[in-house]
Structure 1
Amino acid sequence: MKKAFKSLLMAVLAIILFIPVAVPSAATFEGSLSGKSTSMDEQANYEAAASTSFRDVPSTYWAKKEIDYLVKNGIIQGYKNGNFGIKDPVTRAQAAIIVARALGIDDEYAPNPGFRDVPTTHSAYNEIAVLTKYGIFSKGTYFKPNDKLTRAQMAKIITESFGLDYKSTTSFKDVKSSDWFYKYVQALAYNGITKGDSKGYFLPYQPLTRTEFAVFMARTLNEQFRSGVQATVTGTQLLSDGRLKMNVQLFNNTKNEVFNIKGKYELYINGKLVAKSTSLREYKNVVLKPNEKRTVEFYFSPSEVKQNIKFNSSAELFFEHQWYYYQ
């Protein structure tokens, strides 16, 4: 009996040992992003940004490139003591100064908005007045210039200042569709300017540090800082068959290798629509590693070409991208 049981056990083990073990494959996820980019002449500002030497911003600091970019372009400054103030909170007045500089309207005239706590002698008076003139800040009795700027307020200011579009594509655990800031947060997420924290929260009521605000501003002004698969147009050529060939530099600002990349584009030169694709089209055999850049070609059909204008540094590209990645 024992011998028979032993033989049976050996047979069962043999079968088990030869059964292939099913290894779970990595899950496939889809990413998407819409945005706007300028020509490479403008993007070169990022590449040429001079390195700053703030005492509290070491070369390995996670936001150094963004800070360098804003300082180089005269949008933000450090303190007289040589520090940037990486952990200091941003006030509403400071945010007004930074945004007005980024828009190039800080020296523009504006009527007195009438805030009781912002006299004409206030250091941020003109910037607050100009942004109020354009409706970015609402008129009221008090502006509260020394209050800390929250992430929700930041989302509204950036969205309205730069005219960001949005779609309801991102779900944050602490942002409901009924919240006053919902569409502004969605605009930042839709354009690759924010993705929330690792747990799926946006933290709308949390005050921003100078570093965090610098990162949001850099992402708004320059697509190379944004998350997702970005694109920049580097040149165009009208072909003899009526198609328009567009050279596009794709860059992967994600932590994953991406593939099956699809693009849909609207190209403007001198403010005029040059070409507009009607559907998402896949870049065949294009795989991008994290932080990898690659120049590819995209072809507009003759019916998608609206007019032929010589490519120049005024070129703007509105894009929609979809891609897949493993995780």
Structure 2
Amino acid sequence: MTDTAPEHISVMLNESVDMLVTDDNGLYVDGTFGRGGHTRLVLSRLAQGKMLGFDKDPVAIGHGKALEAEDDRFTIVQDSFAAMAEHIPDVFGVEKVDGIMMDLGVSSPQLDDAERGFSFMNDGPLDMRMNPEAGQSAAEWIASAPEKEIADVMYQYGEERFSRRIARAIVEYRKDTSITTTKQLAKIVAEAHPAWEKGKNPATRAFQGIRIHINNELGDLEEGLEAAAKALKVGGRLVVISFHSLEDRIVKQFMKKMCKGPDLPRHLPIQNAHLDIHFKTVGKAIKPSKGEVSDNVRSRSAVLRVMERISE
């Protein structure tokens, strides 16, 4: 597979790395290596520290292998960050690290490469897998999924109000013709969509929902957050950049639970103040500057949140 797409511009690069690196001799994890923007900046801040990167995408892994050859402080693993507990001891020889970074969502090279099938802007095979060598493609799923499942996926993961109407159109279309390209699917969605949002392609939410489902993105995120919390040593930080409301809601609620405890009914004798809390949030949620959004429009919806372990 070729990689001719524009390089990915790391969002809130300096802000996130400033929050992440607290010890230049520490051990750090980049849960979403991509093209290595965050990893390279972290490595530039380290003295004797080391870094472990994760990615599902074989093209990203190729970039990671190149960085491995340049810098022996770095190791890349092709897997989801949800599996970090399995790999951290193998790479570092310990179970706890000083910081974990997660830059969620799809990278610009993935969106811009028509062969990957993530985008409705360029025609290509309807794939959408972060790792095209594993699992079911979007085309395979759409060819066999029941109408209700298609509607539920677009509604729950894409927040598409007209998911039932769109799912019905997909099922009708596939009776006579296989849906195998992004343009085909985008056209079906657009024709079935009764209320186009100004400035937004009508296929945006449907594509988002299908992509999240195909890659189990929210399930991976929930597992990854739990794994990250367990893997942090005292003083270690979890830094997460999310790009849509579903991701950010999961991150925000997870950090709130870890830093304040679960919400309990008022009549219970034990309240949150008496719970054994081991984490704190660091600062408030950060959004990109106007200058960054002007330079990189894809950063406009990003939200950065930070959590720190304060005790075992």
For the aligned pair, the TM-score class normalised by the smaller chain equals under 0.3
Give 1 or 2: higher helix fraction: 2
Larger radius of gyration: 1
TM-score by length of 2: 0.28
Structure having the higher strand fraction is: 1
In the superposition, the TM-score normalised over structure 1's length comes to: 0.27
Greater RCO (Cα-Cα under 8 Å, separation 6 or more): 1
